[in-house]
Amino acid sequence: MEFPLDFRSWRRALMLLLAAICLSPRSAATAAGDWPFPDELRSRLVFVHPLVNYAIHPVWQRQWERSLARGNGVQITVGSVTSADYLTDVRLNVSEPLTARFRFLYRMNWLDGLHIDRNRQQHWLGFEARLYDRLAGQIQVHPAADKEEFDLMVGFLLTDQSRRRYLRLGLRFDDLLYGRKNDRGGESQKEPVSLQWELRQRQGRWELFSSGRYGSGSRRTFPDSTLSPAVAATGDQEGGFTARLRYLLAVDQFVALETTHYVFEAAETRRDAERGYTYTNEFVHLRGLAVFTLAGPWSLRPEIHWLRQWAGATGRRDFSLRREDFFPAIFVELHAPGRSTWELGYLATSHQWDYRQTDLDAPFTGYTDKVKLGWTYNFTSAARINFSLSHEVDLNRFGGGNVQYQMIF
């Protein structure tokens, strides 16, 4: 169905909005001596919001993956996770043909939330050049404002004729100019180099998608105490991947299994030894879901999630954490006449954790459930916006809102 929409106008307006978002000033840096990582390790809802409540619809996500090597798109989800914090996940992908051989590439990824340890905001610009048949070389840079944070990635892309099946491999060199451009006399003992990939393949009714990055972290020392009076050494490492396997039943109907791994490590040695720290955080998330039509305009989406987390710190803080969450969820959708879709959902988290700071700390077990009401407006089959409200069943507890937008162009 075609809708009377001036698509170019929407695209220009959205690009201006994204530019305003991306160029907005960042929040002030953490004060020296403060704990630089989120404190919500024992929050009841820290994972259920980003992974269930505010997650991009699986049909939207599949459409996004199909377009990554052949077109352009923007994907946004922003939702309230506490009375003072948002989950922000914004992705912009550009793969624009310039000639029969060259393409302009741009990726913007902005992920900020209480379930991860560090705000990720990066802009990758570069070019793709066809080398032979469906094989292309790629080079991209992240031209950070601080030259010491300049990143470089080189790799290749192998696609089929439609560019909906692809394998993208890149070797990523983070902070390439750190040794020459940092102003604290920092010396790299270990350079952060990693392998980054994107894969989408289809065979019959089966589809596989995977993306991720693993590699070496950074290790730096600061021998000159006049340039770095407080910090003597630092180190960090971050990696992870996502994989999704789908079996297609019909158009926009499928069953899927998904797994995600996230790991983060950081350390800081200070000249005042008592204020340094080591910190690790790792979790594994498994998800099973089905999207299928019930009858007429109704569809159903049941989901099951399981998560296991390990975290710990020494130094500035001393603790160990073992956490496990089980998330059941079910969503019913009504595809109304015209462009609207209504959604009613129930989701819950059965959580338990063992958080130890002293021998007196005891394990905790709890159950929290929420109801969700959402409305989607389909500008076209490639441009959609969703608004939703959700609240814990206990009305004295937390409620929040979420806005999602996706456009493929």
Kindly report, residue by residue over 318-361, the tens digit of the pLDDT: 999 999 999 999 999 999 999 999 999 999 999 999 999 877 78
Backbone angle region of 33, left / alpha / beta, with phi > 0 → left and psi within -120 to 50 → alpha = left
pLDDT in tens, 129-160: 999 999 999 999 999 889 999 999 999 999 99
CA 156 from chain centre, in angstroms, equals 23
pLDDT at 35: 87
CB 163 within 8 A of CB 70: yes
Burial (0-12, 13-18, 19+ Cβ within 10 Å), 9 = exposed
Token pair for 42: 């024992």
In this structure, the chain runs to a length of 409
Instruction: For the chain, give the percent of residues with pLDDT over 70.
Output: 92
pLDDT at 33: 55
pLDDT at 295: 86
Global pTM?
0.89
What pLDDT band is residue 395 in, cutting at 50, 70 and 90?
confident
Q: What are phi and psi of 36, to 5 degrees?
A: -85, 5
CB 292 within 8 A of CB 298: no
Mean pLDDT over 154-172 rounds to 97
Mean pLDDT over 92-119 rounds to 94
CA 333 from chain centre, in angstroms, equals 25
pLDDT at 22: 45
CB 212 within 8 A of CB 196: yes
Apex CA 405: angle with CA 402 and CA 409, to 5°? Answer: 170
Residues 361, 408: Cα–Cα separation, whole Å: 50
Q: Which residue has the tokens 């954790």?
A: 353
Mean pLDDT over 266-287 rounds to 92
